[in-house]
Structures are given as structure tokens and as C-alpha cells.
């Protein structure tokens, strides 16, 4: 069996009791790229840049809190023994679904307070969010904190550095790499569809539906604890988000198709009535006396 070995240190440098790692650096890069692209698209859609910058700050704050909270709750066995690690998010361990929910809540509050169209802002943010996530997952690949189940496939990942968070010397599915590929596919689809979907908010819901569909499948090869039969926490959240997004998109699509009124349709499909006493000339306007 051949596999891909990842042996370099996921930590870049120690600073006192803390450290700078590739995971945190690439997560920061993903946030910067997502913010830059969101500002670019939002301004084109008539949303002030200052609103995007201010809202982005609160979205990042809410996203980090939500991402860390869901991750800690999902790994209580570890953090119950190591409570000092609860706040060390720079070492890895962020749930994207938790970040999505926390960031979405912050975005909703900011949009309501500023009276900015939430749907328009969400559509402007969707491509940047999924691209930023793909960049962040590169850090997960290096860090080993989203490792997959054991595999004998030749593209399995084997971690050999003791600072990696994945089991050492065991080939596992490259789950974060699968997600990077899927995220880039979603980004391509969103980029082609931007400005074409109505009503506002449809592009963001398309991103949610596509991501949750892919994440549901990828979660089968991620080493995560089961919470409901064979289902992981990510499975359940993916199902809820997918069903909710598709239901809203379907409802909006049906509502946008306005049926032709029955009276108008009947008039358009039937010929005009002819008064037999006056003759057809009265209808055509050509029945004038031509004998002089």
C-alpha cells in the first residue's frame, strides 16, 4: 500500500506558551480573501463598503465563538480533561457549521440594525465565504484536525509529525482535501450564477444546499463520533440545512411563477364574437357603402 506522507510540523513558531500554526495562518488568509471578495461584490450591488467591514468584524467574532463552541461540545471528553485548551482555537478545532450559524446570526443582527437587505448582502458574501473555507481547509489538511477514517487507497494521508492532531502512521481518507475540491466546485457554480438568481438570498441558499449535500457525504469518511445511530453531528446538521435551503428555494421559485388570470387567458384564446345582424364588416371596419 502506498500513501501520501505529511511529516512537516504544523506549528510554525512558539511564542511563549502559545504558538503560531499553519492552521491559524491559513484560516486568517481565508478570512481576508472572503472579506475582500465580499466587499467587491457588495459594493457592485449597492451596499456601502463601511457596512461590509463593520459587519465582517462581528461575523468573524460570532463565527469564531460558534465554531469553537460546537467543536468543544462535540469533543467534551477531551476538553473536560484539558479545560485550558478550550480557548486555544489557533491550534485547530473549529466547526464550520458552528461558525456558519454564529456568523449568520451576527450578520442578521447587523443587517436589521443598519436596514440593509439581508438577502442582497448574503448573496454578495456567498462566493467569498466558500472560497475562504477552501483556503482554511488547507490548514486543516496540514494540521490533521479533520482527519479521515482509515483507508488503503493510494491517496490516503499518513501523518508522522508528533504535533499533528491526526493518529500517527495510520493512512486515513484525506477528508479536508475532498472538501477543498467540493468547495471549489461550489465556488465555480456560484460565480457563474451570481446576478442570475431571484429573489435576493437565492445564491446564498444555493451555497448552503450544495455544501451541506457534499458535507453529508464527506462525513462518512471523517473520524467523528456518532450521535444518532450511524449519523454524526455533521450529518444531522447537513440534513437540516439542506432540507431547509431546498424548501425555501422551491417555495420562492413557485411564488415567482405567476399564473395567467383565467379571464385574460380566455379572452386571448377565443376569437371575437360576430353580430350576425351587422355582419363581419362591422368588426373589421371595412363594411362601408362603396356604391356612392
Q: What is the pLDDT along the chain (292 residues), one digit of tens a residue?
A: 578 999 989 988 877 767 788 888 998 899 899 999 999 999 998 999 889 889 988 988 888 888 878 777 766 677 767 676 667 665 556 677 788 888 889 999 999 998 899 999 999 999 999 999 999 999 999 999 889 999 999 999 999 999 998 999 999 999 999 999 999 999 999 999 998 998 999 999 999 999 999 999 999 999 888 889 999 888 998 999 999 999 999 999 888 776 655 554 444 445 555 454 555 444 444 444 444 4
What value, to the nearest 5°, has the Cα angle with vertex 147 and ends 170 and 31?
145
Neighbouring CB atoms inside 10 A of 40's CB total 14
Q: Does some domain include residue 213?
A: yes
Q: Does some domain include residue 97?
A: yes
Q: Which residue in the block uniquely carries the three cell numbers 455544501?
A: 211
Cell numbers at residue 210, please? Answer: 450544495
Q: Please say whether the beta carbons of 34 and 144 come within 8 A.
A: no
User: CA–CA separation, 168 vs 102, rounded Å?
Assistant: 33
Q: Does some domain include residue 225?
A: yes
Neighbouring CB atoms inside 10 A of 17's CB total 7
Q: How far is CA 25 from the centre of its chain?
A: 21
Q: Does some domain include residue 195?
A: yes
Q: What is the DSSP letter of 199?
A: S
Q: Please say whether the beta carbons of 158 and 150 come within 8 A.
A: no
Cell numbers at residue 261, please? Answer: 388570470
Given this model, what pLDDT does residue 100 score?
83
Q: Does some domain include residue 266?
A: no
Given this model, what pLDDT does residue 207 score?
96
Residue 140, burial from CB neighbour count under 10 angstroms (0-12, 13-18, 19+): buried
Given this model, what pLDDT does residue 3 score?
86
Q: Does some domain include residue 65?
A: yes
Given this model, what pLDDT does residue 269 score?
47
List, as own/partner pairs, every contact residues 157-163 make where C-beta atoms lie below 8 angstroms and the sequence separation is at least 24, other chains included.
Answer: 157/3, 157/4, 157/5, 157/6, 158/3, 158/4, 158/5, 158/6, 159/6, 159/7, 160/5, 160/6, 160/7, 161/6, 161/7, 161/8, 161/9, 161/10, 163/9, 163/10, 163/11
> What radius of gyration, in Å, describes the C-alpha atoms of the chain?
28
Angstrom CA distances, 91 to 121, 156, 181, stand at: 31, 23, 24
Q: Which domain, by its residues, includes 61? A: 12-146+158-254
Beta pairing partners, 20: 13
- HSE-CB at 127 with a 13 A cutoff on CA atoms is 18
Given this model, what pLDDT does residue 288 score?
45
Helices (H), 8-156: 22-44, 49-74, 76-81, 96-114, 118-143
Q: Please say whether the beta carbons of 119 and 171 come within 8 A.
A: no
Q: Does some domain include residue 227?
A: yes
Cell numbers at residue 186, please? Answer: 461550489
Q: Does some domain include residue 217?
A: yes
Given this model, what pLDDT does residue 156 score?
95
Cell numbers at residue 104, please? Answer: 449568520
Q: 28-41 pLDDT, tens per residue? A: 899 899 999 999 99
* Total residue length of the chain: 292
Count up the domains in the chain and report the number.
1
Amino acid at each position: 500500500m502506498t500513501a501520501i506522507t505529511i511529516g512537516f510540523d504544523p506549528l510554525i513558531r512558539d511564542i511563549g506558551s502559545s504558538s503560531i500554526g499553519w492552521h491559524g495562518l491559513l484560516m486568517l488568509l481565508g478570512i481576508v480573501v472572503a472579506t475582500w471578495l465580499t466587499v467587491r461584490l457588495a459594493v457592485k450591488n449597492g451596499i456601502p463598503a463601511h457596512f461590509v467591514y463593520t459587519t465582517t468584524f462581528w461575523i468573524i467574532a460570532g463565527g469564531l465563538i460558534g465554531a469553537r463552541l460546537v467543536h468543544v461540545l462535540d469533543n467534551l471528553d477531551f476538553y473536560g480533561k484539558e479545560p485550558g485548551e478550550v480557548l486555544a482555537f489557533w491550534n485547530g478545532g473549529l466547526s464550520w457549521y458552528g461558525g456558519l450559524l454564529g456568523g449568520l446570526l451576527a450578520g442578521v443582527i447587523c443587517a436589521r440594525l443598519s436596514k440593509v437587505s439581508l438577502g442582497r448582502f448574503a448573496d454578495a458574501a456567498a462566493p467569498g465565504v466558500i472560497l475562504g473555507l477552501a483556503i482554511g481547509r488547507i490548514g486543516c489538511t496540514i494540521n490533521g484536525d479533520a482527519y479521515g477514517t482509515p483507508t488503503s487507497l493510494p491517496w490516503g494521508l499518513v501523518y508522522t509529525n508528533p504535533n499533528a492532531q491526526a493518529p500517527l502512521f495510520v493512512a486515513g481518507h484525506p477528508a479536508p482535501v475532498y472538501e477543498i475540491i467540493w468547495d471549489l466546485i461550489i465556488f465555480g457554480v456560484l460565480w457563474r450564477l451570481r446576478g442570475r438568481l431571484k429573489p435576493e438570498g437565492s445564491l446564498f441558499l444555493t451555497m448552503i444546499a450544495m455544501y451541506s449535500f457534499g458535507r453529508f457525504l464527506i462525513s462518512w469518511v471523517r473520524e467523528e463520533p456518532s450521535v444518532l445511530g450511524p449519523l454524526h453531528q455533521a450529518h444531522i446538521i447537513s440534513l437540516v440545512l439542506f432540507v431547509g435551503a431546498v424548501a425555501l428555494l422551491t417555495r420562492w421559485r413557485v411564488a415567482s411563477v405567476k399564473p395567467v388570470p383565467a379571464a385574460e387567458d380566455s379572452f386571448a384564446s377565443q376569437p371575437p364574437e360576430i353580430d350576425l345582424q351587422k355582419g363581419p364588416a362591422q368588426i373589421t371596419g371595412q363594411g362601408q357603402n362603396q356604391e356612392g
